[in-house]
Amino acid sequence: EDVTYKEDVWVGGGNAGPDVECIIGGLEVATLVFMQFKVVNKKFVKLPIRTVDTGYGLDRFAWLSQGVPSCFHAVYGEILDKILTIARLNIKNDVLLSVAKYSGLVSVDKTAKRLNARRQIAKLTGFDLDELDKLLIPIENAFAIADHTKCLSFMLSEGIVPSNIHEGYLARLLFRRIYRLLRSLNVDFERFYDIVELQVDYWSRDYPHIKDMRDEIMEMLNVEEEKFEDTLKRGEDMVKRLTAELKMKSISHLSEAKLSELYDSHGLPPEIVKETAEAEGISVDVPEDFYALIANRHMQADKPTEEEEEKAEALLEAAIKDLLPTEQMYYADAYVREFEAKIIKVIDENYVVLDQTYFYPEGGGQPADNGFLTFGNKKVEVAHVQKVGRVILHRIKGASVPKEGEIVKGVIDWDIRYNLMKAHTATHLVNGAARRVLGEHVWQHGTQKSVETTRLDISHYRRLTPEEIHKIESLANQAVLADMQVETAWMSRCRAESQYGFRLYQGGAVPGKDVRVVRTGDWDVEACAGTHLKSTGEIGFLKIVYTERIQDGVERIGYRVGLHALKAIQQQERLLWKVAEILNTPFEKLDKTAEKLVVELKEANSEKRKLIKELATRDSTVCMTEIAGDTQEIDGITLVKR
C-alpha cells in the first residue's frame, strides 16, 4: 500500500511512449516505458516494432523494504556478511547511509566526474577525501566480489566456458577481476572457492540447476586458476624483459597500446603489469575503462561478411523480391530422390527458382544437395542450392537453360544426400554423448557436416583425453545400435521452449515464431532445420577420427559414419600392419617392440653424448700438450704461437 503507481508519458533519446512509474515516499523506484513512437519534426511517428523499456530494479524494492544500508545487503544477506568477515572489514552503517543520500545525485560516467563526485560527497558529509576513500574503497570491492561471484556462478552453471572470445571472455574477465579484488583486500585466493560455494547454496533455493552444476563449476574454476597462475608466472618475466628493452631505448613509459597487447595476447592484467613495470622504473597509466574497451573488442570478434558476398546476395534479393516462397518439400519427405516442379524464374541463366523443391539449400552447417534438372532431352547440373529469404535458388551449370513456366524433373544425388542425412543425425548423437561424458556445460559451438568427415565443435575447458574420446564414441554407437526413432515437428517457439528449455538451441538461435524440433528418442532434442534419418540405426557405425583444440574453450571432434567410418579403421589398420612389417614384429606385439626401440634409442643417444664428451676432452689435452712448448709470455700474458 506504500507504492504509488503513476501513469505518464516518457520522452527521451528520440523515442517516446506511455509509462508507469512506481513511487515510494516520493522516490521514483522503477519505471516501465511502453515504447511506441519516435519523434520526427516534433511529431510522434509510430515505431515498426513496439518494445517495453524495463527500468524495474527489483533490488531497489528489496533494499527499501528491508531498510538495510545498501542494496547489496538486501540481495546478498549472509553472503555479504561472510565476505566482510573474510576480508576483516567492518562497515560503518552511519557513514554508508550518509554517503548513500548524496551518491544518487551525482554522475559517475567518466573518471573526472567520478573523482569530482567523491569530492562533493566528502564535502557534504564532512569527511576528508582520503579518509572517505579509505573507508569506502574496500567496502566497494567487497560489494563487487559478491556481485561478480554470483554472476560467474550463474554463467558457468548455464554452460559458459571461460575463454578468449565472446561470452567465454566475459567469464574469464570476471574471474580475473575477482582475483584482483581479493588481492586488493589481502585475502588468500583459496577463500574464493568458499564464497562461490556460498553463492551456489544461497541461489540454488530458487534456481536448483545451480546446485546440480556445483562440481562442474568448481572444476572449471580450478582449471581457470591453473591457467591464470601459469600466465602470471610467464608474464612477470615477460614484463621484466620488456622494461629492460625500454630502458635501453631511454623510454620511461609503457604505452597504452602495449598494455592492451600484453592483456590481449598474453592475458596479463594491467594492474600486474603496472606493479611489475613500476618496480623496474617504468611508469604505466591504466585507463579507467580499460576492461570495457577490451571486452567490447572481444564480443565483436565475429568474422566480417565479405563485401563481394554481400553485393551478390543483394542482387539476388532484388531479383526475387516479388516471388512467392518456395515450397520446401524436403521437410515433407527427405527420402524423395526425384520430383517434378515448375520453373518460376530464371536469373542471369545461372539460377532457377522452382515452385517446389526437394533439393536442400546450404544452411546450419549442412552442405547443399547436388543433382540434375532434366527437361525434354536436355539436362543441367544443380551445382549449388541456397535460400535467400523464403525463396530457394538452384545454381545450374550446362549448355541449355530451362525456360520460365517449363516443367522440369529434379534428380537428387542420393549418395551425397543420404550420407549427409547420416552425418547430421550422427551430430546429434555425438553432441548428446559429449554432454553425458563431459558434463552439462557442453554446448555445440559449431558444426560442419560432410559426406566423408564431419566435425562438431563443443565448449569444454580442457583438452579431451583418450579415455573421454573413447567414452563419447562408445555412447554414440550405443545410440546408433538402439535404433531410436528420429521425429520432427513444427512447434510454436513458446511451446517448444516451455517443453524442452533452452537446450533446444544447441545449434544457435533460430528465427521465426515457429521452430522445427528434431527429437532423437530420449537422447537429444534440438531446434534444427537439416535433413535427418528416420532412425539412428541407419547410421550403421560411427568412428571418431581426430580431436583438436581450435581455440581456448572449444574442442573439435571429427568423425565418420557408415562405410566411411569403416574405411577410416581400415586405413589405420593398414598403417599399423606396415609399421609391424618395418619393425619385423607380430601385430599384437607392436606396442612392446616400439617401447623397446625407444629405450634402446635413448641409451644409444646417451652413449653417443658420453663418447663425444670423452673425445673432446682427449683432443683438448693432446692439443695443449703439443703447443705447450711453443709459447711466449709478454707482460704477464701467455701467447701461443700457431
CATH of the domain at 340: 2.40.30.130
Same domain, 423 and 360: no
Domain boundary among 579, 601, 619: 579
Phi, psi of 183 (to 5 degrees): -60, -40
pLDDT reported for residue 304: 46
Nearest to 437 by CA among 463, 403, 471: 471
Query: Considering only 7-11, 226-230, 605-609, 628-632, which range has the smallest mean pLDDT?
Result: 628-632
Whether 141 maps to a domain, the answer reads no
CATH of the domain at 504: 3.30.980.10
Picking from 387, 412, 437, the residue at the C-terminal end of a domain is 412
Q: Hey, which residues does 386 pair with through a beta bridge?
A: 393
pLDDT averaged over the chain?
A: 87
Does some domain include residue 451?
yes
Residue appearing with cell numbers 601385430: 587
Domains of the chain: total = 4
Query: What share of the chain has pLDDT > 70, as a percent?
Result: 93
* The pLDDT of residue 107 is above 90: no
Question: What's the domain range around 35?
Answer: 3-56
Q: What is the pTM of this model?
A: 0.77
Residues 6+ positions from 124 with CB-CB distance below 8 Å? 102
Co-location of 563 and 427 in the same domain: yes
Spatial distance between the Cα atoms of 572 and 594, rounded to a whole number of angstroms: 17
Assess if residue 540 is contained within a domain.
yes
Alpha-carbon span 540 to 532, nearest angstrom = 14
Amino acid at 126: G
Residue 68 lies in a domain: no
Q: Are residues 551 and 422 in the same domain?
A: yes
**168, 459 Cβ separation under 8 angstroms:** yes
No. of H helices and E strands in the chain?
19, 23
- 253-254 and 283-284 beta bridge pairing: parallel
pLDDT higher than 50, residue 597: yes
pLDDT of residue 252: 83
442 within domain boundaries? yes
Q: Is residue 133 part of a domain?
A: no
Domain presence at residue 480: yes
pLDDT digits 0-9 by tens, 600-633: 899 999 999 988 888 888 766 666 555 555 667 7
Dist CA 351 CA 386 (whole Å): 10
**H runs (alpha helix) in 482-589:** 493-500, 562-582
Check residue 629 and give its pLDDT.
57
Tell me what pLDDT residue 628 has: 57
Smallest Cα–Cα separation from 121: which of 90, 97, 145, 92?
97
430 with 568, same domain: the answer is yes
Residues 552 and 641 grouped into a single domain: no
| Dihedral angle sign, alpha carbons of residues 616, 622, 625, 631 | negative
Give pLDDT tens digits for 279-302. Answer: 888 888 877 777 777 766 665 554
538 and 475 belong to one structural domain:
yes
Q: What is the percent of the chain with per-residue pLDDT over 90, rounded to a whole number?
A: 50
Residues 497 and 454 in one domain: yes
What is the pLDDT confidence band of residue 303, given thresholds at 50, 70 and 90?
very low
103, 113 in Cβ contact below 8 A?
Answer: no
Collect all residues with Cβ–Cβ distance below 8 Å to 354 and sequence separation of at least 6. 326, 341, 342, 343, 344, 392, 394, 408, 410
Torsion of CA 477, 483, 484, 485, to 10 degrees: 140
Cα–Cα distance measured from residue 634 to residue 176, given in angstroms and rounded to the nearest whole number: 65
Segment 351-365 mean pLDDT: 93
H helices of 300-413, in order, are 307-320
Tell me: do 463 and 351 sit in the same domain.
Answer: no
Pair (511, 571) in one structural domain: yes
The pLDDT tens digits for 465-495 are 999 999 999 999 999 999 999 999 999 999 9
Q: Are residues 569 and 609 in the same domain?
A: no
The answer to whether position 241 is within a domain reads: no
Closest by CA to 141, choosing from 299, 296, 271, 266, is: 271
Mark whether 562 and 613 lie in a shared domain.
no
Are residues 465 and 535 located together in one domain of the fold?
Answer: yes
- Cell reading at 228: 591464470
